[in-house]
């Protein structure tokens, strides 16, 4: 596996973010966005297999080597959208494509729908719309979120005796991953502490959302897409489990392709990464 990338730090007006940059300087600009509680290493297998692209694989705020948000701030999806726009400004990119996995795919969708003049192409891996809730659940959703916020100061991160043990636990986490994939995420996502290692991620990332979009809200963003969009659905991933999604997707303009593998099919092994690359190379390099 070739890991040729440049490590960069991006000082935005409100936060400093980290990223891994792949590909030639004059390549087609692409911003790659990882999933919840992952980091830029999510693209360690895939990015080297994508040709002709200048890929900025970002650590979202609160993840990987990026700073945590200031005290009192939160991690709403639209805040990530704002961050990504500012990252594009740092690189001087008025037009760019987005490559998103899971939560990163959701953020990519929101950005592409809201700023169609900025996004050239939208490449999504096993993610599209956020979990939704209807209006009558709003009171309970907010109450649960506030209770969790009040309880957060007492919550302590687990400490693992070794990177290997942390990777074994991550392997069984959300969106089950291969041990090799978990190791890649752990190498970037862990930090040493007394007694071993713990995750760099901000504890606030585990808080439940205070407000969720309704299904109608979410689908409005999909309907607003105007750029070429392609979604890869993992046959054993999280999207495939969402009832009725397939029937709805055929009514959209999004190109949908089903691939073997789990939620992290682009990271679990070299074969899965190559299958994803074979789908996205012609798509992202198209004029």
pLDDT above 70: residue 9? yes
Handedness of CA 95, 14, 17, 149 (dihedral sign): negative
Contact indicator for 178, 268 with CB cutoff of 8 Å: yes
Contact residues for 264 (Cβ-Cβ < 8 A; gap 6+): 35, 42, 101, 175, 177, 178, 181
Q: Does 102 qualify as catalytic in the annotation?
A: yes
In this structure, of 8-17, 63-72, 204-213, 239-248, the range with the lowest mean pLDDT score is: 239-248
The structural domains of the chain, ordered by start, are 6-132+214-284 (3.40.50.1820)
Contact indicator for 100, 124 with CB cutoff of 8 Å: yes
When pLDDT is cut at 50, 70 and 90, the band that residue 2 belongs to is very low
In this structure, of 47-56, 143-152, 240-249, the range with the lowest mean pLDDT score is: 240-249
pLDDT above 90: residue 102? yes
Please tell me which residue in 102, 108, 178, 229 is annotated as part of the active site: 102
When pLDDT is cut at 50, 70 and 90, the band that residue 3 belongs to is low
- Copy the structure tokens of residue 143: 């109450």
pLDDT above 60: residue 13? yes
- 180-202: average pLDDT: 97
Contact residues for 99 (Cβ-Cβ < 8 A; gap 6+): 30, 31, 32, 33, 43, 55, 108, 123, 125, 280, 284
- Compute the chain's Rg from CA coordinates: 18
- Copy the structure tokens of residue 200: 């760099």
Contact indicator for 287, 63 with CB cutoff of 8 Å: no
Mean pLDDT of the chain: 95
What share of the chain has pLDDT > 70, as a percent? 99
Write down the pTM of the prediction.
Answer: 0.96
* pLDDT recorded at residue 68: 98
- Summarised one tens digit per residue, pLDDT across range 54-97 is 999 999 999 999 999 999 999 999 999 999 999 999 999 999 99
């Amino acid at each position: 596996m070739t890991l040729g990338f440049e490590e960069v730090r991006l000082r935005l007006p409100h936060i400093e973010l980290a990223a891994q940059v792949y590909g030639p300087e004059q390549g087609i600009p692409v911003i790659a966005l990882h999933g919840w509680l992952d980091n830029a290493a999510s693209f360690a297998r895939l990015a080297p297999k994508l040709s002709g692209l200048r890929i900025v694989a970002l650590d979202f705020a609160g993840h990987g080597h990026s700073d945590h948000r200031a005290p009192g701030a939160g991690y709403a999806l639209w805040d990530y959208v704002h961050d990504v726009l500012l990252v594009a400004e740092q690189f001087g990119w008025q037009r760019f494509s987005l490559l998103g996995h899971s939560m990163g795919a959701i953020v990519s969708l929101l950005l592409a729908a809201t700023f169609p003049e900025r996004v050239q192409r939208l490449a999504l891996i096993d993610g599209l719309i956020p979990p939704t809730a209807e209006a009558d659940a709003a009171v309970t959703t907010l109450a649960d979120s506030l209770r969790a916020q009040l309880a957060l100061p007492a919550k302590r991160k687990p400490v693992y005796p070794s990177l290997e043990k942390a990777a074994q636990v991550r392997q069984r986490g959300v969106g089950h991953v291969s041990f090799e994939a978990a190791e890649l995420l752990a190498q970037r996502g862990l930090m040493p502490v007394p007694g071993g290692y713990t995750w760099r991620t901000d504890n606030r990332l585990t808080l439940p959302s205070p407000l969720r979009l309704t299904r109608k809200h979410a689908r409005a963003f999909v309907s607003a897409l105007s750029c070429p969009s392609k979604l890869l659905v993992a046959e054993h991933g999280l999207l495939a489990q969402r009832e009725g999604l397939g029937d709805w997707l055929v009514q959209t303009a999004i190109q949908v392709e089903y691939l073997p593998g789990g939620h992290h099919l682009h990271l679990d092994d070299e074969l899965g990464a190559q299958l994803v690359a074979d789908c996205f190379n012609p798509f992202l390099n198209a004029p």
